[in-house]
């Protein structure tokens, strides 16, 4: 077993070890269980969110065993990096991995459970959501801040930003962190980073308007570039749907 624990949580190592050893029989299921298993564990006032990643296919079992960092390790390390850069994300606690001499098996990412008022998805599904435009503009400024700090969040999609109301407006926290890049973000990368967020033109127009103000570029330039990336991504999505439909028939 390989693991790393945030120094702030070393005093509960035995409890964390027990959570991992008994993950299948203990804990409270939480959220969507389709892709990976999520459970909550309770230690006094602390609520721990543990994500159990599925055992990868045989090729990735070899890759993660010898050549690549696991999703759990990347999630932990990226969360620490985001915290250093002042970007919201649930407090990282630890990651655990299980391996054989030749293959990679189970892995787990542990973080402090973060309650929120909504996710970006609520805005996508309900344009009448209270304070909709203000939240979307603040979210766009949050995304601009990511880009200015050299953070390319490759899974910047509707369910991966938690939004909480605060005294100063809204705070934003990223989850599902295992796919990120760090480095200078040019204009094309910035626009492509919006591709997954919405297929609705009015939302893209609003985000373009706010981003243009942030980056000090003409609105038309930002909108045309952002909308181009959205349409390109939607074309890929629709193409995949057609392929799946053919196989089902």
Residue in the block written with tokens 């996710």: 119
Q: Which domains does the chain have, with CATH numbers?
A: 2-112 (3.30.200), 118-244 (1.10.510)
Q: What is the pTM of this model?
A: 0.92
pLDDT for the residue numbered 116: 95
pLDDT for the residue numbered 67: 95
pLDDT for the residue numbered 146: 98
Give Cα 248 distance to the centre of its chain.
30
Q: Is the separation of the CB atoms in 205 and 113 below 8 Å?
A: no
Q: Report residue 89: phi and psi, to 5°.
A: -165, 150
* pLDDT tens digit at each of 249 positions of the chain: 899 999 999 999 999 999 999 999 999 998 776 678 999 999 999 999 999 999 999 999 999 999 999 999 999 999 999 999 999 999 999 999 999 999 999 999 999 999 999 999 999 999 999 999 999 999 999 999 999 999 999 999 999 999 999 888 899 999 999 999 999 999 999 999 999 999 999 999 999 999 999 999 999 999 999 999 999 999 998 888 887 777 766
**Within 10 A of 175 (CB to CB), how many other CB atoms are there?**
21
**Within 10 A of 245 (CB to CB), how many other CB atoms are there?**
9
Strand partners, 95: 4, 109
Q: Is the CA virtual torsion 57, 61, 67, 70 positive or negative?
A: positive
């Amino acid at each position: 077993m390989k693991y790393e624990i945030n120094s702030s949580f070393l005093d509960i190592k035995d409890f964390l070890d027990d959570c991992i050893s008994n993950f299948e029989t203990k804990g409270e299921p939480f959220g969507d269980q389709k892709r990976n298993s999520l459970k909550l564990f309770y230690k006094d006032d602390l609520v721990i969110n543990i994500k159990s990643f599925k055992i990868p296919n045989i090729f990735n079992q070899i890759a993660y065993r010898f050549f690549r960092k696991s999703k759990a390790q990347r999630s932990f390390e990226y969360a620490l990096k985001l915290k250093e850069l002042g970007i919201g994300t649930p407090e990282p606690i630890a990651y655990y991995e299980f391996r054989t001499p030749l293959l990679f098996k189970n892995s787990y990412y542990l973080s402090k459970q973060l309650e929120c008022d909504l996710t970006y998805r609520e805005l996508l599904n309900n344009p009448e959501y209270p304070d909709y435009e203000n939240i979307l503009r603040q979210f766009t400024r949050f995304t601009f801040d990511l880009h200015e700090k050299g953070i390319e969040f490759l899974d910047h999609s509707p369910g991966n930003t938690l939004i909480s109301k605060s005294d100063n407006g809204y705070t934003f926290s990223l989850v599902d962190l295992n796919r990120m890049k760090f480095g200078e973000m040019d204009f094309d990368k910035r626009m492509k980073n919006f591709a997954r967020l919405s297929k609705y033109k009015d939302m893209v127009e609003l985000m373009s308007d706010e981003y243009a103000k942030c980056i000090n570029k003409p609105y038309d330039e930002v909108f045309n570039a952002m909308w181009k990336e959205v349409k390109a991504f939607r074309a890929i999505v629709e193409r995949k749907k057609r392929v799946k439909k053919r196989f089902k028939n």
